[in-house]
Structure 1
Amino acid sequence: MRRLLRGSGAVNAVWFVCLVSSFASSLVSCITVHTPAELHASKGDTISLSCTFTSTSRPTSKMSVDWSYRPQSGGPPQTFFHFSSRAFPPVDGQFTGRIRWQGSPAQGDASISLINATLQDNGTYTCSVRNPPDVHGSPTSYTVLTVTPKMPSIRFSDVAVLLAFILLPSAIITVILIGRMLCPKKQHNQSKAYRSPIEVTEGEEYGIHLPAEKKPTCCELYLMDSEDEAEYYTLKKKPPSDEHYVESQC
């Protein structure tokens, strides 16, 4: 009876050790990879594809990182970057010469950068990290990249050129127009005060002021004799020699 109890106790101890070891191994054999869900950039930008991981095991030479790309139009993912002790950038395809390794495995970083982004780079990027003995958990993570056309920017030099060739001539023309609107008034006022020598009346050029001719009144015309009246009408028919001559209104 005692032998049976001893035998059953030994079996239970073995099962307990196995359960604990399997449970402990499940705790340590986990890895988690994190990437941003979405990234937005403009055409021509340098994009940082961030990827971080946590592992219960210290990264060794056996650790590896793979980046794959699935186009926005669909299709199977294609691996374009690999890291294992050192970086292996793509040697062909659309990412040739445009991928740089920025990761640091000792700090749990497996990031890369994409240089000179294009509209054809739109799609889903997957970061996969393997660090044996961590083989469970979430070794992959996804990022959706959206590249849009770059908006045109106005530089300071462009603004200076516009000011020099558009605003400056407009300002000069405006000043000229305002000057022409104001100058004729001044010239008109001066023309009123200035009299040409030709316009000087007879006698004024010698300093002689002729007395103003007295115009006969209606009563005086009535009292004229016939000879004076005939001479008056004869003078009346002649063209006036003086611009100040005014015909009688009788």
Structure 2
Amino acid sequence: MRRPRQGTAALNVILLLYLVVFYAPSLVSSISVSTPAELHASKGDTVTLSCTFTSTSRPTSKMTVDWSYRPQSGGPPLTFFHFSSRAFLPPDGQFAGRIRWEGTPARGQASISLINATLNDNGTYTCSVRNPPDVHGSPTSYTVLTVTPKAASIHFSDVAVLLAFVLLPSTIVTLILIARILCPKKKHNQSKAYRSPIEVTEGEENGVHPPPKEKKASCCDLYMMDSEDEEGYYELKKRPPTDEGYAESQC
């Protein structure tokens, strides 16, 4: 009765060792890579393609990072960046001179920067990290980048030109109109003293004209008179005024 029990125990030990040998690496030695699902940028911007990873093993010189790109129109992915102890930037092609390594493997960073983004950069970017002996888990992650045209913006120079050619002339015209309304014209004042030839004043309807106003002699006029004229002038001043119209009516 004891032999069957001993055989069963031995079988259980064998099964346990089998599970440890074949499944322990997948449960312990694994790596996980994560990236944002979507990224949006404007034309000409510098875009950071973020990629982080976690590993049960400390990163060593055997760790590698690969970035690949698949256009939005489709097609096979193209690897344009590789890291193994140092960064290998793309020497030619679409991304030549526009990739910058931003990663720090000791901190779980495997990011890169895309300089001067263009509309042709739209597509799917894949980050792959390998850190032996961590060969299981999720070593890759994907990011969809969408680049749009940059919105038009008004610069200070444009505002200055607008003020100089539009607002300034309109302000001057407005001030001139206000000045003409508030300040009366000289002709308007002179028109009150001017009288049309057909206008008739009171007393002129019956043919009677008012005597002209006597003009007072100025100092200059007295200076230009002769002595005899000057005596006659003073005699006229001494005489009492007579009404010529009344004298005519007595005759």
TM-score higher than 0.5? yes
1:17-66 deviations in Å (ceiling 9; x for gaps) = 23234332221222111111111110000000001111111111111111
Share of identical aligned residues, percent?
69
Partner of 1:225: none
Name the TM-score, length of structure 1 as normaliser.
0.73
Task: Supply the AA of the counterpart residue of 1:107.
Answer: R
Superposition pairs of residues 1-250 of structure 1, within 5 angstroms: 9-10=9-10, 12-183=12-183, 185-192=184-191, 203-204=212-213, 206=215
1:189-228 deviations in Å (ceiling 9; x for gaps) = 53146579xxxx97325259996969xxxxxxxxxxxxxx
3-state SS of 2:151 partner:
coil
Structure 2: runs of 5+ lacking an equivalent = 196-209, 217-236, 247-251
3-state SS of 2:23 partner:
helix
Name the TM-score, length of structure 2 as normaliser.
0.73
Return the offset for 1:4.
8.2
- Say if 2:26 and 2:137, in contact at 8 Å, map to a contact too: no
Task: Supply the AA of the counterpart residue of 2:88.
Answer: F
Distance 1:169 1:202, change over 3 A: farther
- Say if 2:47 and 2:113, in contact at 8 Å, map to a contact too: yes
Give the distance between the partners of 1:168 and 1:38, measured in 2 at CA. Answer: 48
Return the offset for 1:161.
2.9
Distance 1:165 1:14, change over 3 A: same
1:133-185 deviations in Å (ceiling 9; x for gaps) = 111111111111111110111123322332233211210111112222333x3
Give the distance between the partners of 2:83 and 2:19, measured in 1 at CA. Answer: 36
Give the distance between the partners of 1:26 and 1:139, measured in 2 at CA. Answer: 13
Structure 1: runs of 5+ lacking an equivalent = 215-250
Give the distance between the partners of 1:151 and 1:210, measured in 2 at CA. Answer: 96
1:71-103 deviations in Å (ceiling 9; x for gaps) = 111111100000011000100101000000001
Distance 1:92 1:206, change over 3 A: same
Aligned residues: 210
Give the distance between the partners of 2:68 and 2:31, measured in 1 at CA. Answer: 19
Give the distance between the partners of 1:32 and 1:108, measured in 2 at CA. Answer: 10
3-state SS of 2:16 partner:
helix
Task: Supply the AA of the counterpart residue of 1:171.
Answer: T
3-state SS of 2:141 partner:
strand
Distance 1:47 1:3, change over 3 A: same
Return the offset for 1:115.
0.3
34-43 or 173-182: which moved more?
173-182
3-state SS of 2:44 partner:
coil
Give the distance between the partners of 1:105 and 1:213, measured in 2 at CA. Answer: 127
- Say if 1:64 and 1:83, in contact at 8 Å, map to a contact too: yes
